[in-house]
Structure 1
Amino acid sequence: MKVKRLNIRTVDKETKSLQKAVCIKGMGIEGDKNAKGGEKQLSLLPLHIREEIEEGKINGLCIPRFTENISYVGNSDLSKGDMYKIGDVLIQISSTRKKCFPECQNIIKNKPCTLVKSVSYAKIISGGIIELNDEIEAFKGKDDDF
């Protein structure tokens, strides 16, 4: 897998594209309004899903509200608990589903939402820099080994 886009959402709700992201251990990406710690410090989405959203093929209530931090290409089988090295950052997948809003038309009409099933969230175990085109490599050791 490889990082193809890096984004943050500012406190003014503006999406800002980055060439490199400063990841803060236990918090999130510097400058991101969601960098508050917890289980969702970093969000990842396959690039092909982001492109489908941009083409208008995926819609729903949260689509305009959602900005992933990392759009990536390659095998998208991220599993809860797995650890990955990206640049000099170590992350651990904390969740592999996005919460849906009950007022969303997809839920009301019982339509599946691709976004809900495609988003992964992670905790930053070891901070550092992530840059565009960095490899996302499975990490099999313990965070002490990093």
Structure 2
Amino acid sequence: MDKVLGKVKGINISEKKGVVKQPIAEGQFIKEFGLKDDAHAGKWHRQVSLLAQESIDKMTEMGVEGLCSGKFAENITTSGITLHELPVGTLLKIGETIQEVTQIGKECHSGCAIKQAVGQCIMPKEGIFTKVLEGGIIRVGDAISLVASEK
């Protein structure tokens, strides 16, 4: 039985890189590619980006105004799960998909608006990336579960 860790709070998409992603009610996630029609999808190890609402809340507490799902260019905003503590290789069931954690954090690009406003950004430390092992639909409100290993 899979252990539920949290839930999907938001799904976000953008047609080009370097812009804030826009919220959508559901997304089609394609095996070995990522979110259909998203600029960051592709055949690489960072197909899907995830960031916890709890991480966004930390930035809000630091005085950053107007933060919402997608502002950090994450595809999936989560709640109830400490994403950056999941080891690389962790398998997650998110909606109909199975995704593997491939990277924790990343460098902010040089023009990161959040970093310029506050002096730091949460994505480099607390955002995570996955690749899609099994595709399917993910909807806002879907459960995020730890896939039980078969060892």
Partners of 2:43 and 2:93 in 1: CA distance: 19
Aligned-partner residue type, residue 120 of structure 1 = I
Shift of 1:11: 2.7
Counterpart of 1:94 in structure 2 is: 102
TM-score (norm 1): 0.77
Q: CA RMSD in A?
A: 3.0
Kindly tell me: are residues 140 and 18 of structure 1, through their superposed partners in 2, closer, same or farther at Cα, counting changes over 3 Å? same
Counterpart of 1:23 in structure 2 is: 29
Aligned-partner residue type, residue 53 of structure 2 = L
Residue 133 (structure 2) pairs with residue 136 (structure 1): no
**Percentage identity across aligned positions?**
28
Counterpart of 1:49 in structure 2 is: 55
Structure 1, gaps ≥5 residues long = none
Alignment size in residue pairs: 134
Shift of 1:56: 6.7
| Aligned 8 A contact 1:50 1:71 in 2 | no
Shift of 1:58: 5.4
TM-score (norm 2): 0.75
| Aligned 8 A contact 1:3 1:71 in 2 | yes
Partners of 2:58 and 2:81 in 1: CA distance: 17
Residue 11 (structure 2) pairs with residue 11 (structure 1): no
Counterpart of 2:89 in structure 1 is: 81
Partners of 2:141 and 2:63 in 1: CA distance: 26
Counterpart of 1:34 in structure 2 is: 40
The DSSP-based 3-state class of the residue aligned with 2:130 is strand
